[in-house]
Amino acid sequence: MKNLLKTTLVLLIVSLPFHVAWADEYSDAIKSFQEAGESGSYFAKSYGYALFPTIGKAGIGIGGAHGSGKVYKQGTPIGTSKMTQVTVGLQLGGQAYSQVIFFENEAALNDFTSGNFEFSVQATAVAITAGASAEANTGGGTSAGVSGGKNNADTTSLGYRKGMAIFTVAKGGLMYEAALGGQKYSYSPL
């Protein structure tokens, strides 16, 4: 068991993005979501959003994911955020994806920026640069998305749940997963 844990951690460390997200990455991610079907309309109608241009994810039985992003209020950056995820279950591989969380109103944005925020219980299936995912959490939120990669992505959502809507666009990798885990977000104001 210790060897499996060590191997998983090494794979995770090698697979996760350690680079700084540059302004171009944020612009490219926003453009991908704006051009990806339903998610594009959320930029105009949401109170704010958290954008993670690259989240790296890897696992062999035990897995994890990590990414850094910015939080926007009415189109203006107001802070930074980090997403960390730990999963346990049947999983093998690694992947990278972009994620955006839209906040329907000020209360939803305040919930997210109030400290450590968490989504839990996730099920996903992603292959190469095309993927499909569904997510449900114990806090009552759900989301779904389909992606053909950042250049030809398409997204769908179940709408706002508890004031938030989540979209992802696969960037690359191969991950087979039937795992349970949670996503934790930290927030730091600018």
Predicted pLDDT of residue 159: 77
Predicted pLDDT of residue 118: 84
Predicted pLDDT of residue 136: 40
Mean pLDDT value across residues 94-99:
90
Predicted pLDDT of residue 147: 41
Mean pLDDT value across residues 11-39:
72
Predicted pLDDT of residue 190: 93
Mean pLDDT value across residues 75-93:
92
Alpha helices in the chain (DSSP H): 2-15, 23-34, 39-45, 106-113
Say how far apart CA 22 and CA 19 lie, in whole Å.
9
Query: Is residue 26 scored above 60 in pLDDT?
Result: yes
Q: What percent of the chain has pLDDT over 70?
A: 67
Say how far apart CA 67 and CA 97 lie, in whole Å.
9
Q: How many CA atoms lie within 13 A of 116 on its CB side?
A: 6
Predicted pLDDT of residue 162: 83
- Nearest 5°: CA angle at 93, between 92 and 99? 115
Cα dist. 32→66, 69, 130, 177 in Å? 20, 15, 14, 25
Q: What percent of the chain has pLDDT over 90?
A: 39
Predicted pLDDT of residue 4: 52
Q: What is the pLDDT of residues 65-82, one digit of tens each?
A: 999 999 999 999 999 999
Mean pLDDT value across residues 6-25:
55
Mean pLDDT value across residues 9-18:
49
Predicted pLDDT of residue 141: 39
Predicted pLDDT of residue 132: 45
Q: Which residues contact 61 (CB under 8 A, 6 or more apart)?
A: 4, 8, 88, 89, 90, 91, 92
Q: How many CA atoms lie within 13 A of 149 on its CB side?
A: 9
Give this prediction's pTM.
0.74
Predicted pLDDT of residue 145: 40
